[in-house]
């Protein structure tokens, strides 16, 4: 029997008070990875498959975030979603998908975040899907950083001058006030699945760049109070900036849900050993992790995000830094469409 509002923790009731679109199939699947677990000889490894969470253009973690963000855009009467990312951005593809599914237009700024330009890099993968869905895709030469972008503000002004009603969504939806709520909800969803499976994941591993997936999971785990350890794996190549942004988003999200709660100093853990030196470029460790997951489990990851966090997971388990007795959950955030743009790496 579902809990009544009076039986729910206050933070869950508060979370459920925010308007939310329904872009996901429902709870994303939780999958045991027995061959990878046996190969590494340590902790029992499972994955929560955000890459399989939605029918909107291959889904992914950004679609979970956008359930809350797009609901706010519709409440404000917007007719156009405006956002920003790299040329092969999963986020801009998801923004365009959610716009199409909501009867809105999408304008996306695709910046030169990655010093990588093989043939067809700006014509395949995520950007191809955005164009297919009718997005207004605009390439520009701005470089990578995770903070606010002046070019996004300029695009919003231009659309307003043309009489449109644009709604601005920062990169990854991460600096949006509601951007982390989807991954607080992830923890609520996971707790129900654990009950059904008869398992508890004491450690969660998640990729971290713009930060709101990591922040939301950290806040959800803190409010839940079951002692989970959340480990972020940096893929930005700028871990100082990423950790500061994750921490700030977590504090702001916590204040939305429980103004009396405080974020402990050790709540945000960011491992910076696996980013390969810069955003968007895989090294041999990244590619080896991708091959291992693919060849043992047909578990497909991308070279920008999940290949790096999978490399982190493999090392943490193999080295015993995650205890052999642990049940560890790898959060698969999606991103596989970008593989087409990186074919020469394989």
One domain for residues 130 and 192: no
Q: What DSSP line would sit under 129-151, residue for residue?
A: HHHHTT-EEEE------SS--HH
pLDDT band at 146 (very low <50, low <70, confident <90, very high): confident
Q: Rounded distance, CA 335 to CA 62, Å?
A: 10
Any domain includes 68: no
Residue 13 appears among annotated catalytic residues: no
* pLDDT tens sequence across 274-318: 999 999 999 999 999 999 999 999 999 999 999 999 999 999 999
Does position 5 have pLDDT exceeding 70, yes or no?
no
pLDDT at 150: 85
One domain for residues 212 and 339: yes
- Look at residues 127, 150, 173 and tell me which one is the last residue of a structural domain: 173
CATH code where residue 99 lies: 3.40.50.1100
For 314-326, the three-class secondary structure string (H helix, E strand, C coil) is: HHHHHCCCCCCCC
pLDDT at 147: 75
pLDDT at 144: 81
Does position 4 have pLDDT exceeding 60, yes or no?
no
One domain for residues 236 and 137: no
Closest-CA residue to 200 (of 29, 329, 11) = 329
The helix/strand/coil state of 91 is helix
pLDDT, averaged across the chain: 96
Any domain includes 272: yes
One domain for residues 210 and 168: no
Average pLDDT over residues 34-38: 98
Average pLDDT over residues 181-204: 98
One domain for residues 135 and 234: no
Structure tokens at 156: 């919003």
Count structural domains, the chain: 2
- Look at residues 149, 173, 197 and tell me which one is the last residue of a structural domain: 173
- Look at residues 173, 202, 237 and tell me which one is the last residue of a structural domain: 173
Any domain includes 66: no
pLDDT at 1: 42
One domain for residues 207 and 316: yes
Any domain includes 69: no
pLDDT at 78: 98
Any domain includes 42: yes
Any domain includes 189: yes
Does position 3 have pLDDT exceeding 70, yes or no?
no
One domain for residues 160 and 294: no
The helix/strand/coil state of 345 is helix
Average pLDDT over residues 34-52: 98
One domain for residues 247 and 274: yes
Does position 217 have pLDDT exceeding 60, yes or no?
yes
pLDDT band at 149 (very low <50, low <70, confident <90, very high): confident
Any domain includes 223: yes
pLDDT at 292: 98
Q: Within the chain, how many helices (H) and strands (E) appear?
A: 11, 10
Domain ranges, residue 258: 5-57+177-345
Closest-CA residue to 129 (of 108, 148, 147, 104) = 108
* pLDDT tens sequence across 58-109: 999 999 999 999 999 999 999 999 999 999 999 999 999 999 999 999 999 9
Find the catalytic residue in 28, 54, 83, 89: 89
One domain for residues 84 and 126: yes
One domain for residues 131 and 257: no
What is the pTM assigned to this prediction? 0.96
Any domain includes 276: yes
Is residue 276 within 8 Å of residue 285, measured between CB atoms? yes
Task: Please report which residue ranges of the chain form alpha helices under DSSP H.
Answer: 10-16, 34-40, 61-75, 90-102, 125-132, 150-161, 181-197, 212-224, 239-257, 284-297, 306-318
């Amino acid at each position: 029997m579902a809990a009544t509002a009076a039986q729910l923790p206050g933070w869950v009731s508060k979370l459920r008070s925010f308007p939310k679109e329904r872009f996901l199939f429902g709870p994303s699947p939780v999958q045991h990875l027995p061959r990878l677990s046996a190969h590494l000889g340590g902790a029992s490894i499972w994955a929560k498959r955000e890459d399989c969470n939605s029918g909107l253009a291959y889904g992914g973690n950004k679609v979970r975030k956008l359930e809350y963000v797009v609901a706010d855009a519709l409440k404000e009467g917007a007719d156009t979603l405006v956002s920003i990312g790299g040329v092969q951005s999963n986020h801009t593809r998801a923004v365009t998908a959610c716009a199409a599914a909501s009867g809105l237009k999408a304008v996306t700024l695709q910046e030169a975040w990655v010093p990588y330009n093989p043939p067809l890099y700006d014509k395949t993968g995520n950007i191809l899907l955005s164009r297919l869905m009718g997005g207004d895709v605009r390439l520009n030469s701005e470089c990578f950083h995770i903070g606010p972008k002046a070019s996004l503000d300029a695009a919003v002004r231009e659309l307003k001058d043309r009489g449109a009603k644009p709604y601005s969504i920062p990169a990854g939806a991460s600096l949006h006030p509601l951007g982390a709520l989807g991954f607080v909800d992830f923890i609520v969803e996971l707790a129900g699945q654990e009950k059904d499976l008869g398992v508890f994941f004491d450690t969660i591993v998640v990729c971290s760049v713009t930060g709101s997936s990591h922040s939301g999971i950290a806040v959800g785990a803190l409010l839940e109070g079951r002692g989970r350890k959340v480990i972020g794996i940096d893929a930005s190549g700028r871990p100082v900036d990423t950790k500061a942004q994750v921490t700030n988003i977590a504090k702001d999200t916590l204040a939305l849900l429980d103004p009396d709660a405080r974020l402990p100093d050790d709540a945000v853990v960011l491992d910076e050993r696996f980013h390969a030196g810069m955003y968007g470029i895989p090294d041999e460790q990244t590619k080896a992790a991708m091959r291992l997951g693919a060849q043992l489990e047909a578990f497909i990851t991308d070279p920008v995000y999940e290949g790096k966090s999978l490399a982190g997971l493999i090392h943490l388990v193999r080295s015993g830094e995650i205890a052999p007795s642990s049940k560890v959950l790898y959060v698969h955030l999606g991103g596989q469409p970008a593989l087409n743009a990186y074919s020469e790496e394989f």
